[in-house]
């Protein structure tokens, strides 16, 4: 983790939040490469689960909703974690994360307070009066945006059951123990789908939808580059599930700090729609055009954390490899040999996920080369997210592109001036190929889709 966090800062993926003011504990900012990576995750998710499906539509709803939403959804009463505090050093813990029946502080061995339920919703006030009539909450999940808009989204999109409403966006939780980099923060992004189905008459009916979504989630994990043996599917037993859930499977990943949740899948029954219908007095029932019946659909909810996706994608991509050393690499380019070895760090992102797809690297800063190189850069930039770098030795520049996971480096050298061709280097094999500039775009386009 330390290596990854330092790479993230050094190369511009993720920075400590508010750093010039000494930081803000457990807050992180995405830098120029991090935002590209995160946007790739979100765009791929939206494409796969919304645009390419016939049965899912999207919404983008307000972060702050009418507080009655949280009363109806049960979050005001139930969205709590058991908090214990050390009477001496005042360190705070989540009781459910300590060994069972712990009464002593793990930090200083003094006595802990009995657990009290701590509500995790982040509060604020709307308008200038800071009194209870103006309290509001930042949403702790995106899901309620889909439930309160169910009737409108269903009606306007003319979708028939089963169909889903998807959303991605920020959620806020006043976590007692945030930490492990971007694994647990108080502000994070989710991608969620509420998949509405006919009220099931048998367990088999909802189980079929549940299993289908579990498979979709597994396939997404593979697409993100996650090794199958790092994933675990944990069936959450009675008594440990969220207040709304009849069945939950946590998709867990083996992080360097232990096996913990990556994504979740829950059967929320008609809990949310029923409560919203009761509390709002609005008829939220679905009008079945086939049978003429009116009923409240049930819901299967797959949920993905965006930041945890980014974290896991980076952990999976991180590789250290022994290769010929920097001098060797420069020498290779000039056709000489070297047997010395050094370590290279390479982020082997799936190509679709890499922040930059291509880097254009003129061999020297000399004007004769930069003219051609910037022409190549201009052409490629129109189609691929492309970097341009002309400082330092070519070997060091290759190492930098390896560290940020750029699949292809395009080197413009003095031969280019005569043969109108460039050298394309593959991130993973480090093999180089001479390609005519006229064919470069189509060559890369093909390589980047395989």
Q: Check residue 297 for interaction with ligand ATP (CB under 6 A).
A: no
Using the contact rule CB under 6 A, the part of the chain among 122-130, 158-166, 255-263, 378-386 near ligand ATP is 255-263
- Among positions 262-291, residues that touch ligand ATP (CB under 6 A) are 262-264
Q: Do 438 and 372 meet the contact criterion of CB atoms below 8 Å apart? A: no
Number of residues that bind ligand ATP (CB under 6 A): 14
Q: Check residue 173 for interaction with ligand ATP (CB under 6 A).
A: yes
Among 26, 185, 386, 406, indicate the residue that binds ligand ATP (CB under 6 A).
Answer: 185
Using the contact rule CB under 6 A, the part of the chain among 100-108, 126-134, 302-310, 399-407 near ligand ATP is 302-310
- Among positions 190-209, residues that touch ligand ATP (CB under 6 A) are 190
Q: Check residue 184 for interaction with ligand ATP (CB under 6 A).
A: yes
Question: What is the closest distance, in whole angstroms, from the C-beta atom of residue 224 to ligand ATP in the complex?
Answer: 13
For ligand ATP, the nearest residue by Cβ is 305
Neighbours of 212 (CB within 10 A): 14
Question: 3-state DSSP call for residue 71?
Answer: helix
The residue (of 70 and 188) whose beta carbon lies closer to ligand ATP is 188
The residue (of 184 and 427) whose beta carbon lies closer to ligand ATP is 184
Q: Check residue 28 for interaction with ligand ATP (CB under 6 A).
A: no
Q: Check residue 307 for interaction with ligand ATP (CB under 6 A).
A: yes
Q: Check residue 175 for interaction with ligand ATP (CB under 6 A).
A: yes
Q: Do 94 and 176 meet the contact criterion of CB atoms below 8 Å apart? A: yes
Tell me the C-alpha distance between 50 and 38, whole Å.
Answer: 17
**Residue 279 Cα distances to 70, 135, 154, angstroms:** 11, 19, 20
Question: What is the closest distance, in whole angstroms, from the C-beta atom of residue 162 to ligand ATP in the complex?
Answer: 22
Question: What is the closest distance, in whole angstroms, from the C-beta atom of residue 35 to ligand ATP in the complex?
Answer: 17
Task: Give the DSSP letter string of 143-183.
Answer: HHHHHHTHHHHHHHHT--SSEEEEEEEEEE---SS-BTTTT
Q: Do 307 and 203 meet the contact criterion of CB atoms below 8 Å apart? A: no
Tell me the C-alpha distance between 101 and 110, whole Å.
Answer: 14
Burial 320-356 (b: 16+ CB within 10 A, else e): eeebbbbebbbbbbeeeeeeeeeebbbbbbbbbbbbb
Tell me the C-alpha distance between 394 and 366, whole Å.
Answer: 14
The residue (of 266 and 376) whose beta carbon lies closer to ligand ATP is 266
Q: Check residue 308 for interaction with ligand ATP (CB under 6 A).
A: yes
The residues pairing with 233 across neighbouring beta strands, listed in sequence order, are 251
Question: What is the closest distance, in whole angstroms, from the C-beta atom of residue 158 to ligand ATP in the complex?
Answer: 30
Among 254, 261, 288, 332, indicate the residue that binds ligand ATP (CB under 6 A).
Answer: 261
Q: Check residue 73 for interaction with ligand ATP (CB under 6 A).
A: no
Question: What is the closest distance, in whole angstroms, from the C-beta atom of residue 186 to ligand ATP in the complex?
Answer: 7
Tell me the C-alpha distance between 132 and 134, whole Å.
Answer: 5
Q: Give the binding site for ligand ATP (CB under 6 A).
A: 173, 175, 184-185, 188, 190, 261-264, 303, 305, 307-308
């Amino acid at each position: 983790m330390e290596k990854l966090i330092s790479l993230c800062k050094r190369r511009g993926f993720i920075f400590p939040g508010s750093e010039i003011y000494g930081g803000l504990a457990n807050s992180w900012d995405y830098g120029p490469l991090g935002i590209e990576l995160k946007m790739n995750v979100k765009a791929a998710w939206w494409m796969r689960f919304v645009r390419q499906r016939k049965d899912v539509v999207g919404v983008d709803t307000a972060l702050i909703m009418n507080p009655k939403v949280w009363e109806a959804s049960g979050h005001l009463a139930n969205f709590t974690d058991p908090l214990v505090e050390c009477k001496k050093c005042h360190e705070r813990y989540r009781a459910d994360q300590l060994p069972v029946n712990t009464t002593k502080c793990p930090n200083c061995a003094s006595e802990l307070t009995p657990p009290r339920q701590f509500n995790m919703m982040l509060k604020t006030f709307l308008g200038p009066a800071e009194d209870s009539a103006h309290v509001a909450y930042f949403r702790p999940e995106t899901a309620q945006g889909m439930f309160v808009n169910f009737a409108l989204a269903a009606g306007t999109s003319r979708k028939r059951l089963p169909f889903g409403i998807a959303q991605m966006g920020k959620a806020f939780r006043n976590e007692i123990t945030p930490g492990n980099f971007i694994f647990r923060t108080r502000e994070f992004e989710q991608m969620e789908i509420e998949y509405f189905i006919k009220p099931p008459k048998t367990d088999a009916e909802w189980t079929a939808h549940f299993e289908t979504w579990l498979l979709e989630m597994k396939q997404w994990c593979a697409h993100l580059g996650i090794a199958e043996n790092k994933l675990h599917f944990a069936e959450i037993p009675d008594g440990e599930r969220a207040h709304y859930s009849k069945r939950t499977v946590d998709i867990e990943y083996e992080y360097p700090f232990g096996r913990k949740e990556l994504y979740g899948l829950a059967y929320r029954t008609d809990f949310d729609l029923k409560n919203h219908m009761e509390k709002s007095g609005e008829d939220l029932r679905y009008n079945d055009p086939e049978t003429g019946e009116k009923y409240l659909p049930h819901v299967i909810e797959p949920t993905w954390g965006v930041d945890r996706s980014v974290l896991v994608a980076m952990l999976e991509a991180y590789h250290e490899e022994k290769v010929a050393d920097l001098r060797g690499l420069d020498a290779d380019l000039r056709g000489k040999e070297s047997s010395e070895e050094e370590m290279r760090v390479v982020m082997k992102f799936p190509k679709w996920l890499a922040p930059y797809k291509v880097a254009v690297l003129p061999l020297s800063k000399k004007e004769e080369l930069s003219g051609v190189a910037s022409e190549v850069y201009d052409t490629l930039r129109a189609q691929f997210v492309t970097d341009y770098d002309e400082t330092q030795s070519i070997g060091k520049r290759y190492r930098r592109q390896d560290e940020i996971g750029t699949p292809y480096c395009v080197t413009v050298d003095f031969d280019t001036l005569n043969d109108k061709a460039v050298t394309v280097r593959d991130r993973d094999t480090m093999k180089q190929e001479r390609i005519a500039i006229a064919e470069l775009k189509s060559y890369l386009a093909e390589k980047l889709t395989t």
